[in-house]
Amino acid sequence: MDADVPMPADYSIDWCYAFGGPLGNCLFKSCHDDFLVDELLPFEPEGEGEHLFLLIEKKGENTDWVAGLLARHAGVRRQSVSYAGRKDRHGTTRQWFCVSLPGMADPDWSGLESSSIRIIRQARHRKKLKTGVLKANDFCITLRNIDAEPAVVNARLEQISREGVPNYFGEQRFGHHGRNIEKAVEMLAGKFRVQRNKRSVYLSAARSWLFNRVLSEKVREGVWNRYLSGDALGFPDSNSLIFEAPDDAMMTRLDRGELSPTSPLWGRGTSKVADQALAFEHSVTAGYPQLCDGLERVGLLQERRVNRLLPRQLTWLWESGSKGNSLVLRFQLPKGCFATSVLRELFDCHEEQLGIIQD
């Protein structure tokens, strides 16, 4: 591809809202305990094996930094420490780390803990913890200084509980002020080379941006949670897809949120959809040949992601305090989904920790 081919100017990360936009403003993450996340594995560690699983509570710490700290403390290479997924730096998160210790005893972790790191549990397992091996995340989020009427917010929350929200990738995927997508565009245009880890970040940003761009147009047209002919339906908590035209039973499951329409995670190969769904998606992606061609060229394969994110076990409680009305939200999301995609349909959230790039 010619690096001098002009690229589209608009790589905005401002996506369409499903329910008319935010109801007001709020303070978000005014302290670490306002954003609590518990990581849930799809299995229990077996109690034996060469891999030591550690459930760690961290406050205000970067996931990669904690992994490096564990490696140094255990006297192993950084590659010997893994985790299922990164968690936000600005919050209190409880997540699993895995330290591979073949033929080695458990390290003495007594000198590791601090005000920002606490080991909750440790257990051996026969298999290494790999990226993406995650069942779900439990969230408890406190939003403060809310300037919207509680009755109006309650009605929106009821709507979200019934209908879900667009399953956008969160802003953190695109870096501070969307810089990762800007870098991805330049990298795929051949303007510079990057190290392997940065390359992965930029490719992920490009693929996620294209997905969000297609989904945003579906939201604009009011079809994000409707079946378009030729579409593939997906299950919210797995990568399984259904390609045949839905019957009445499947449409009922679609209405209940047990199935969802999907949009493309761009890559090489024939599209997995046809007819109306394919035409709609191509009408959007045709405007971004640099991203599409670049993602195909690096060898990523066509995949799909569900359009709808339905928070499970969604509850809320209003409180009053020194920072005005506060709302405590609790819900569970499948792996790979973002709490900010739920929050954006409620409020314009302002973080007090300004100028700090998220994990």
CATH number of the domain encompassing residue 176: 3.30.2340.10
Short-list 285, 294, 88, 131, CA closest to 203 = 294
Tell me the per-residue pLDDT of 168-199, one tens digit each, with 9 for 90 and over.
999 989 988 888 998 998 898 888 888 887 89
CATH number at residue 70: 3.30.2350.20
Q: Which amino acid is at 56?
A: I
Are 19 and 82 within one domain? Answer: no
Are 227 and 262 within one domain? Answer: yes
Question: Is there a domain that residue 170 lies in?
Answer: yes
> Looking at per-residue confidence, does 186 or 3 come out higher?
186
Are 5 and 114 within one domain? Answer: no
Are 205 and 346 within one domain? Answer: yes
pLDDT bin (cut points 50, 70, 90) of residue 323 is low
Short-list 306, 304, 328, 305, CA closest to 315 = 328
Encoded tokens for 30: 């005014």
Are 16 and 117 within one domain? Answer: no
**Separation of alpha carbons 212 and 209, rounded Å:** 5
**Separation of alpha carbons 355 and 215, rounded Å:** 29
Question: Is there a domain that residue 151 lies in?
Answer: no
Angle (deg, nearest 10), helices 179-188 and 289-297: 70
Q: Which amino acid is at 303?
A: E
Question: Is there a domain that residue 55 lies in?
Answer: yes
**Separation of alpha carbons 343 and 346, rounded Å:** 5
Encoded tokens for 33: 């305990």
Predicted local distance difference test score (pLDDT) of residue 322: 63
Range of the domain at 118: 43-133
Question: Is there a domain that residue 8 lies in?
Answer: yes
**Separation of alpha carbons 205 and 265, rounded Å:** 11
How confident is the model over 191-217, as a mean pLDDT?
92
Question: Is there a domain that residue 273 lies in?
Answer: yes
Encoded tokens for 136: 């779900």
Strands (E), the chain: 25-28, 35-40, 51-59, 81-83, 92-100, 117-125, 136-144, 165-166, 233-234, 241-242, 262-265, 303-306, 308-309, 312-321, 324-334, 348-351
Are 127 and 268 within one domain? Answer: no
pLDDT of 48 higher than 70:
yes
Are 114 and 178 within one domain? Answer: no
How confident is the model over 313-328, as a mean pLDDT?
87
Predicted local distance difference test score (pLDDT) of residue 7: 41
3-state secondary structure of 47: coil
- Number of structural domains the chain divides into: 2
Are 19 and 125 within one domain? Answer: no
What mean pLDDT is reported for the chain?
91
Encoded tokens for 291: 């991203």
Strand partners, 81: 99
Are 179 and 279 within one domain? Answer: yes
pLDDT over 70 percentage in the chain: 94
**Separation of alpha carbons 279 and 65, rounded Å:** 44
Tell me the per-residue pLDDT of 113-150, one tens digit each, with 9 for 90 and over.
999 999 999 999 999 999 989 999 999 999 999 999 99
Question: Is there a domain that residue 72 lies in?
Answer: yes
Lowest mean pLDDT among 171-180, 216-225, 243-252: 171-180
Lowest mean pLDDT among 62-76, 141-155, 318-332: 318-332
Q: Is 88 a catalytic residue?
A: yes
3-state secondary structure of 48: coil
> Looking at per-residue confidence, does 122 or 86 come out higher?
122
Are 118 and 208 within one domain? Answer: no
Predicted local distance difference test score (pLDDT) of residue 4: 43
Question: Is there a domain that residue 148 lies in?
Answer: no
Are 286 and 357 within one domain? Answer: yes
Predicted local distance difference test score (pLDDT) of residue 1: 37
> Looking at per-residue confidence, does 279 or 186 come out higher?
279
Question: Is there a domain that residue 143 lies in?
Answer: no
Choosing from 88, 108, 147, 237, the catalytic residue is: 88
**Separation of alpha carbons 51 and 138, rounded Å:** 25
pLDDT bin (cut points 50, 70, 90) of residue 353 is low
pLDDT bin (cut points 50, 70, 90) of residue 8 is very low
- For residue 81, give every residue at least 6 positions away whose Cβ sits within 8 Å of its Cβ, in sequence order, or none: 67, 68, 70, 71, 74, 97, 98, 99, 100
Are 59 and 192 within one domain? Answer: no
